[in-house]
Structure 1
């Protein structure tokens, strides 16, 4: 019997979709069966007042439940106040079976009220019930029975609806966490593909240009460059497949060797130095991404003739002597297109901003900053005091 859950004046989330609905609480009106029987039997006098009271009670209870579950807070509370007036008034006047309607009033309070209001109601209503029953000449047993029935009815209903609200909130939170995990995985995958393909396509473009220049005057060298293109393409295909499955673990030594070859093919004289103990596996993978992105930027954007890659412990520094800024992206071309098209993966180099700054002005450097930031590291890029451009990546100990 699912239905729209009752209102929540405190602004808390909706209840679970399978929370008890209107149909689950309307049958509680049968608690007035005793008053109906005594009215028909003639035990309650005057009879017209009892019939009118029963009609008003039934209508107000139904209105309270319906408006509460339709999230009409103020009408529901007004109907509840009317129901309380009818129950208390006729219980004082007629007594007898009308005392059985106090638990019905407790149920209505548990449905309509939330937070502090329901706590006050479930505490005050049993006291009011006890006073009415005592004033009507009820015994101690009847006073305790009606008071406890009123208290437990309101408390149980309020707790049940609160638990369904909490379940609904947990379901919503779980859904949001699942959506966040999917978004994070998409971001990771896009970063991996950008870093993988950006570097590889840059190397392929450089080697293809070399093949075009050497094709006529040195066919043998051109054939070797073409073979390198084939090898790079096969390696890129393997890396993309591994990235898709999420198991790519880039070796730093391999990345440094690839970087030296790629820079040499682009006409950049490279010096690579490593000092200190070898990094752990995770640090190697992260620093391998830095090498890949830094070399890609040198090939695409710098116009450099010399480059230096220095790894000291968990600090990786990549410098070049380039002076040229990036060429503007051609109209209609992708910002991640080949270097030969005049576009770059990273937009304007941070060197043009006039000073070192955290990486983040381009998609590649921004991806590096996010990737290393998740491990507690940092990436800074900017002009080197001695000329050219410098990229510094640092990881904390223990990575």
Structure 2
């Protein structure tokens, strides 16, 4: 029972959401509540109501309550992008504008401070050119009303300046905050994509490395078993090759894990000789044109490796031919065998290795085709640009 309790506690710890650090929090205002204390600018108007210095106090009180309610509603909508861009938000702003002009024109004095408050609310909803035009209009209107009333609490230009600054600074801060949050989300998505690409690279390399190596081990083990009753020295030589292949595979896997494994077509063709010979398959290589560029050469090495693996595993072939045709713009490698085994051609054309190679070559601007050869057997044809990108560091980014 205690073990079950311990296990459940461990699972609950693992499933807890990670705590947000200061770097993960939203920059700027944490939320709409940060903008609510600014409503204290309306205390002067409220004081006028309490002291009876306002004519028609019921109208003023209702106007003050309506303005504050609309301000709170608009500010909260400003922190939700979907609600901020809805028609309702613009209707609420229009209602606030009517109340602002009505109270300022009707009462003047402290009621003129509703212009900066209304400007701030506009800054939470509007962006760009529309906001700039509206702020200029509001500032000019505030100055005009202050001059017309003549009972303003400060200079008319101060009311206008405060109106512009309130809306402009609010919009700038909120826009910057939203941009930072979007950049953080983009960075997280890029990091996730990088992890996915690295997993794909590792899975492809692991398939290609282990598939080829295990095929070699199987072929040489079968050869050693056949030779052991008749030629012990030859059987021991095959066992020694198995040991060498295993050591080489360990080195390649370590290099693949770190992402620095580099191969070449020439290297893979040299390694293919003993492997094909142990399977009773003759190797023939035909080259034409200049040597491929390093990036292209690496990709063609993977193609040769996979083709050899398929031939040894499935073909039952007696001959495997590699034809490299290198031109100034395109390079083509064709690997054909005369196999008639049970894996020819269907099982080999849909293998995971060939699919991974096709994706790898496509990312480098090339193509891979596989299927029955023109004279029977099986053929794999890879075509790449002469200066293909997608070497060891980039080959699996697609």
Scaled by the length of structure 1, the TM-score of the pair is 0.80
Contact 1:379–1:393, Cα closer than 8 Å, also in 2 = yes
In structure 1, the partner of 2:355 is 366
In structure 2, the partner of 1:390 is 379
Pair 1:103-2:116 in alignment? yes
217, 229, 252: which is aligned to 2:230?
A: 217
Residue 285 (structure 1) shift:
1.8
9, 18, 24: which is aligned to 2:27?
A: 18
Residue 396 (structure 1) shift:
1.3
- The 5 A counterparts of 1:135-214 are 135-137=148-150, 142-214=155-227
Contact 2:27–2:180, Cα closer than 8 Å, also in 1 = no
Contact 2:332–2:382, Cα closer than 8 Å, also in 1 = yes
In structure 2, the partner of 1:297 is 310
Pair 1:28-2:38 in alignment? yes
In structure 2, the partner of 1:326 is 343
Scaled by the length of structure 2, the TM-score of the pair is 0.80
Contact 1:110–1:118, Cα closer than 8 Å, also in 2 = yes
Cα distance change on mapping 1:348 and 1:120 into 2, 3 Å:
farther
Secondary structure at 2:385's aligned position in 1?
coil
Most deviating of 240-249 and 76-85: 76-85
- Structural RMSD (CA): 2.8
Pair 1:260-2:273 in alignment? yes
Equivalents in 1 of 2:69, 2:267: separation in Å? 80
Residue 42 (structure 1) shift:
4.6
Equivalents in 2 of 1:92, 1:251: separation in Å? 83
313, 320, 325: which is aligned to 1:307?
A: 320
Contact 1:64–1:77, Cα closer than 8 Å, also in 2 = no
Secondary structure at 1:300's aligned position in 2?
helix
In structure 1, the partner of 2:9 is none
Most deviating of 186-195 and 117-126: 117-126
Contact 1:369–1:379, Cα closer than 8 Å, also in 2 = yes
Instruction: Extract unaligned runs of 5+ from structure 1.
Output: 1-14, 328-345, 351-360
In structure 1, the partner of 2:347 is 348
Cα distance change on mapping 1:285 and 1:78 into 2, 3 Å:
same
Instruction: Extract unaligned runs of 5+ from structure 2.
Output: 1-23, 389-398
Contact 1:125–1:150, Cα closer than 8 Å, also in 2 = yes
- The 5 A counterparts of 1:262-277 are 262-277=275-290
Secondary structure at 2:347's aligned position in 1?
coil
Secondary structure at 2:285's aligned position in 1?
strand
Residue 52 (structure 1) shift:
4.2
Pair 1:238-2:251 in alignment? yes
Cα distance change on mapping 1:323 and 1:123 into 2, 3 Å:
farther
Pair 1:85-2:98 in alignment? yes
Contact 2:139–2:164, Cα closer than 8 Å, also in 1 = yes
Cα distance change on mapping 1:87 and 1:281 into 2, 3 Å:
same
How many matched pairs?
356
Secondary structure at 1:298's aligned position in 2?
helix
361, 375, 381: which is aligned to 2:364?
A: 375
Equivalents in 1 of 2:321, 2:304: separation in Å? 11
Contact 1:16–1:167, Cα closer than 8 Å, also in 2 = no
Equivalents in 2 of 1:134, 1:38: separation in Å? 20
Residue 223 (structure 1) shift:
1.3
Equivalents in 1 of 2:256, 2:171: separation in Å? 51
Equivalents in 2 of 1:397, 1:269: separation in Å? 29
In structure 1, the partner of 2:395 is none
Contact 2:317–2:339, Cα closer than 8 Å, also in 1 = yes
Equivalents in 2 of 1:385, 1:347: separation in Å? 15
Residue 238 (structure 1) shift:
0.9
Residue 123 (structure 1) shift:
4.6
Contact 2:296–2:386, Cα closer than 8 Å, also in 1 = no
Cα distance change on mapping 1:67 and 1:278 into 2, 3 Å:
closer
Residue 137 (structure 1) shift:
4.7
Equivalents in 2 of 1:152, 1:302: separation in Å? 78
Residue 200 (structure 1) shift:
0.8
